[in-house]
Structure 1
């Protein structure tokens, strides 16, 4: 959750909402909380790989599960390629070796995942600790630095409801990584207790980090300058008079993107495993390593696919449809939690609110993102229909 988004999302969010940026952050946190409680409740009842794909199948039926799983795998594969390219862009701002470096980052993290979830968790702890140290240092510098004005947050209502909703969508997707915790259900000790606690604690800490960083960059740059910034934290540190800290911030951003990529590889691999077990993806992807107990076929396939993508195209500007898929994924999670009969932990009102907010954020997405999302889902549905018909005929 504390990935590359915390270093870059403030510019687009400020452009959408202006002074309503923090209203957008509060709304994003509310949506995330509703979704997180639904994911945690379902994970405690169904501790299996696949996350909402598995929960949708158990509670709502096969097609609901497929819609959630397909959106997660396709959208997050594009996000993984974007994260790899972000790592390379921060470490090597220019040069032909950016793409090979991005592919090398993918291969290295797939290798870490291949050797077991304990190694994935260990590397994640190291990356997150380093990123949090960088962010804490940057926040201190921003609060002690030289702001452009005493406070230039602007009118929080000037952009209107649509601007606040758009900023909420951007900020929500920046830290919506808690569902990946639920995809690890088969590899966690006492998942019915551990996963809900992990989701709640992680979400709370991520929202706190975002609030501190957001207050720092807005206080130094103001929303107008922030809206035009492509590297808000770097620009804010420079404006605060701490240009010497730009190097560490750049390294921290690259590490944060690596951490997000590591979590994506683990989450996509487990969801692909669950889908392949049920024939919703090619069945060979369901292979589990006899020693390391990880979905090694799915992860190697993902590594090859993402490496080819980063070598061929730049997905950072064309992954808007992944937002469409993630919102549908969480809509299914909330609906499944609403219909869950046993093991309930949270009131149904939270799940209804989560569904409604996911639907509202969908309609505020750019129409291009919605159109691409519909086409991608259409391809997935058609492929599943053809595969089912072939199985029936056999």
Structure 2
């Protein structure tokens, strides 16, 4: 089975939002706060700047090469086969680890870490097999619900007057925290990897990347300020459900939904990159069938769920994805762009170095 162009601009934006918001808000704020304390906000800006550069580079490349595969295709076409292969493997390995992290997040918030994680992967693999339009519709519903819950939580926490111990400002942790937070911003890659399923990809992909990233930046900034104000130094050892005890049950449900949305988008992206690599005989030939690629992606994610924890999965994913985007920026440089790809490339390499010690 081969992909069909059925996704609109709105669908593509929600695919990006579903991936980014699910990962960032509920999975990485606590470990990032443990590293940087109140400097979390600085780390968020650093991660956001690098993500913006990567987003623009990816958008320019996606408009030129509207195909499934993302930077695997861009690196191959602009830099050569070796760089394309490296990008493809970095994406497949890193994002399969992300799938495991998001599935474990679902299981943890649901109260059944391993069993819930495996069940989530199996259920979403079956959903993906029914067609990308249904997957995009499910992602849209999840994102709307999560944004409503986060907005209500922010208003509730912002009106609270309880005194908390302020988080210490830890400048040495800014770059490690930024590397972890970057994990949360990488969702726009899912839009580029759906290049063969988006209508008018030359126009739709760049616009969807910019819109989804801008919305996510605003959401993250608001949540970070509210969480630090409500929890202070306790944020490093807390979950977002602790921001508003009165809404904790609702937040746990929203966390499961957000992580499910992220997992759904991640599985879409990994399977499409595997499809592109199989077409070029960089992966086994049967993966050139989209259904086979989706099933194998699910099986690989289940294997990781059974062998790693959430933090290690996030760290490994961040490292791989930073390398992936370093290649994307280098590819965009060859288009005649200069400042944005240069900043993105340097930023990716610096953050990859910052996270390397955690592997």
User: TM-score, with normalisation over the residues of structure 1?
Assistant: 0.83
**1:119 and 2:102 equivalent?**
no
Deviation above 3 Å: which 4+ runs of structure 1? Answer: 151-154
Q: CA deviation at 1:152?
A: 3.2
CA shift digits 1:238-262 (9 cap, x unpaired): 2xxxx2x110000000011101100
Alignment of 1:269-284 (within 5 A): 269-284=271-286
Structure 2 unaligned spans of 5+: 1-19
User: What SS does structure 1 have at the residue aligned with 2:56?
Assistant: helix
For residue 40 of structure 2, the aligned residue among 21, 33, 44 is 21
Distance in 2 (alpha carbons) for counterparts of 1:75 and 1:259: 18
Q: Are 2:359 and 1:365 aligned?
A: no
Q: Does 1:46 find its partner at 2:65?
A: yes
How far off is 1:113 after superposition? 1.2
Report the TM-score, using the length of structure 2 for normalisation.
0.90
Distance in 2 separating the partners of 1:308 and 1:327: 23
Question: Are the equivalent residues in 2 in contact too, given 1:4–1:253 (CA < 8 A)?
Answer: no
Native 8 Å contact 1:73 1:271 kept in 2:
yes
Q: 1: CA distance between counterparts of 2:80 and 2:99? A: 28
| Structure 2 Cα separation of the partners of residues 66 and 187 of structure 1 | 22
**Contact 1:3–1:175, Cα closer than 8 Å, also in 2:** no
Q: Aligned residue for 1:101?
A: 116
Call closer, same or farther: CA 1:352–1:6 in 2, change over 3 Å.
Answer: same
Partner residue in 1 for 2:166: 152
The alignment status of 1:197 with 2:207, answered yes or no, reads yes
Q: 1:226 aligns with which of 228, 235, 260?
A: 235
Offset of residue 368 of structure 1 = 4.7
Structure 2 equivalent of residue 379 of structure 1:
none
| Count of residues paired in the alignment | 339
Question: 2:74 is paired with a residue of what secondary structure?
Answer: helix
Alpha-carbon distance change, 26 to 183 in structure 1, aligned in 2, over 3 angstroms: same
What do you get for the CA RMSD once the two structures are aligned? Answer: 1.6
Equivalent in the alignment of 1:382: none
Alignment of 1:1-394 (within 5 A): 1-92=20-111, 98-149=113-164, 152=166, 154=168, 158-160=169-171, 162-222=172-232, 224-229=233-238, 231=239, 233-238=240-245, 243=246, 245-287=247-289, 295-310=290-305, 312-319=306-313, 320-340=315-335, 347-369=337-359
Bigger-Rg structure (1/2): 1
Instruction: Tell me how far apart the structure 1 counterparts of residues 37 and 299 of structure 2 sit (CA, whole Å).
Output: 41
